[in-house]
């Protein structure tokens, strides 16, 4: 899926692997529930682990997930809600440390971006957000960590937020959702899209022409470009060029008509 052997990959996947309707739309009848991750990880190239948002996983959980997936697989991990669903983000240090230390290192080379999702009621407060960004560790051992912020309030859709996210090299989620902010602004050295507008009546969630468009956009992002026609909250930095340094891209089909997510992901992988 990479443009060349040296180019960063475009990773395409789904949120989680245990969703009851997928027993009808994704998993063959002979795949038991305990083999779901093993099967899913061989049909998509990344999975966003969502359960860690609601409850703390243990090192043995991460180790098991590592063992069940191919060597070149990547997990994104959704951070604990106790770190982000709070009035003062700058006071989340203990919760952040608990999440980072819960066993993420057991994923080894399969550890991808860490997703920090804010509450829909959380408004942009530059001082509080900067205090939060300062708490996010740059490394786990010797491994560089990649952080992504999923904002849910329109107040974040401003140049001041983009400037702050760029300062701390935190990526901003592109949602393709009418309900949440959708940042095409590139604020880190990778792009993270959570495509949330799938429709149940479409077997592939999105129409095939729409998926062709997303494939083209993913390839533009990968090539270092800033695709026109998308929602931007701020002008590009002065150093940005039409096609700059190649970057990894992560695309997840999540929420919306979730039962269609695997089909959407597999179709996009085929296009790439």
Q: pLDDT of the chain along its 272 residues, tens only?
A: 433 344 579 999 999 999 999 999 999 999 999 999 999 999 999 999 999 999 999 999 999 999 999 999 999 999 999 999 999 999 999 999 999 999 999 999 999 999 999 999 999 999 999 999 999 999 999 999 999 999 999 999 999 999 999 999 999 999 999 999 999 999 999 999 999 999 999 999 999 999 999 999 999 999 999 999 999 999 887 665 545 789 999 999 998 899 999 999 999 999 99
In a domain? residue 141: yes
In a domain? residue 71: yes
In a domain? residue 2: no
* pTM, 2 dp: 0.94
In a domain? residue 4: no
Phi then psi for residue 119, to 5 deg, are -70, 150
Evaluate whether 80 touches 52 at the Cβ level (below 8 Å).
yes
In a domain? residue 1: no
Q: Which domain holds residue 256?
A: 10-271
Cα 218 → chain centroid: 13
In sequence order, the 6+-apart residues with CB closer than 8 A to the CB of 200 are 257, 259, 260
Dihedral angle of Cα 173, 3, 41, 184, to the nearest 10 degrees: 10
Q: How far apart are CA 261 and CA 43, in angstroms?
A: 12
Phi then psi for residue 243, to 5 deg, are -140, 105
In a domain? residue 5: no
In a domain? residue 3: no
In a domain? residue 120: yes
CA distances from 87 to 41, 52, 124 (A): 36, 20, 11
Total domain count for the chain? 1
CATH number at residue 220: 3.20.20.410
């Amino acid at each position: 899926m990479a443009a060349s052997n040296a180019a960063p990959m475009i990773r395409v996947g789904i949120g989680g692997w245990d969703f009851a309707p997928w027993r009808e739309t994704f998993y063959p009848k002979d795949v038991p529930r305990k083999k779901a991750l093993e099967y899913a990880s061989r049909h998509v190239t990344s999975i966003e682990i969502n359960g860690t948002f609601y409850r703390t996983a243990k090192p043995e959980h991460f180790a098991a997930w590592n063992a069940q997936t191919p060597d070149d697989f990547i997990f994104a991990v959704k951070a604990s809600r106790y770190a982000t669903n709070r009035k003062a983000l700058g006071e989340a240090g203990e919760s952040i440390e608990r999440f980072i230390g819960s066993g993420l290192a057991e994923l080894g080379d399969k550890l991808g971006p860490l997703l920090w999702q804010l509450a829909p009621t959380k408004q942009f407060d530059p001082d509080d957000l900067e205090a939060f960004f300062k708490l996010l560790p740059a490394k786990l051992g010797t491994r560089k960590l990649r952080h992504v912020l999923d904002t849910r309030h329109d107040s974040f859709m401003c140049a001041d937020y983009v400037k702050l996210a760029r300062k701390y090299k935190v990526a901003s989620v592109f949602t393709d959702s009418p309900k949440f902010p959708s940042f095409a602004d590139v604020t880190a050295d990778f792009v993270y899209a959570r495509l949330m507008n799938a429709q149940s009546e479409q077997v592939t969630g999105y129409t095939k022409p729409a998926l062709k468009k997303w494939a083209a956009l993913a390839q533009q992002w990968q090539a270092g470009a800033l695709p026109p026609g998308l929602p931007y909250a701020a002008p590009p930095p002065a150093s940005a060029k039409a096609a700059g340094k190649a970057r990894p891209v992560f695309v997840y089909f999540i929420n919306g008509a979730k039962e269609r997510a695997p089909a959407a992901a597999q179709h996009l992988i085929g296009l790439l």
